[in-house]
Amino acid sequence: MHLLAGGIILGVALWLRHDSQTSSILESRLDDQPAPSTYYVGIYILIAVGAVMMFVGFLGCYGAIQESQCLLGTFFTCLVILFACEVAAGIWGFVHKDQIAKDITQFYDQALLQAKSSDAEKANKAKAVVKTFHETLKCCGGSALESALNILQPDLCSQSVSSAFTQDLNCHSKIDELFSGKLYLIGIAAIVVAVIMIFEMILSMVLCCGIRNSSVY
């Protein structure tokens, strides 16, 4: 069970890390300044926990088969440490949920402002960043008015003029929706793993006590 849970968590974390939407946005650079990458902290915690869970799961299975109190005790200790990491990841995600979207939004606004600069070189670099946001999120500005104005500039926006009146092209809301949704998945994964760990800690202690009592008799 622990091996399966570890594999699922690792798979979800790797999918979140290499998701095409978030990757294309977070790999953008503006004047050699990378996009805010705080989002990856929670994912790296999940990747580490998932990998360690798979190893610890093997340790627990082997300890149960060998009826080793030492291995089961080590298994329990590892579970406690992993549980603390999961709680930390959950708290981190809850605390930074709004801040991550805010940082990415500010980065987008900075690029959009620079794209209208009189310095052609800086403007072209910023336009590439802005267009990455627009094409990835299918949006075209930070507000309805801005979206309508950007649509008139093909180098900033690839959406059609009619879409400004038929679709929500607000990049701010699209950024918030994307990153809040991903962090929500991280939170769910952390909660599921934490619940599994609680049951496994109880089971490991029951097995350990059972082995100790059987050795007495």
Domain positions in the chain: 70-131+139-158+168-212
pLDDT of residue 76: 82
pLDDT by residue (tens digit) across 42-99?
Answer: 788 778 888 888 887 777 777 777 777 787 788 788 888 878 877 777 777 777 777 8
Q: Which pTM does this prediction carry?
A: 0.75
- The chain-wide mean pLDDT, for the chain, equals 77
pLDDT of residue 217: 46
Tokens, residue 130: 């802005």
Share of the chain above pLDDT 90, in %: 0
Q: Which residues of 124-150 are buried (b: 16+ CB within 10 A; e: fewer)?
A: ebbbebbbbbbebbebbbbeeebbbeb
pLDDT of residue 123: 82
**Segment 147-171 mean pLDDT:** 58
The Cα–Cα gap between 32 and 28 comes to 9
pLDDT of residue 2: 64
The Cα–Cα gap between 154 and 166 comes to 18
The Cα–Cα gap between 5 and 50 comes to 8
Tokens, residue 210: 């059972």
CB 93 within 8 A of CB 46: no
The Cα–Cα gap between 86 and 68 comes to 27
pLDDT of residue 1: 62
Tokens, residue 175: 């950024």
Res. 116 pLDDT band, cuts 50 70 90: confident
pLDDT of residue 153: 63
**Segment 3-17 mean pLDDT:** 80
Does the pLDDT value for residue 17 go beyond 80?
A: yes
Res. 161 pLDDT band, cuts 50 70 90: very low
Tokens, residue 17: 């890390």
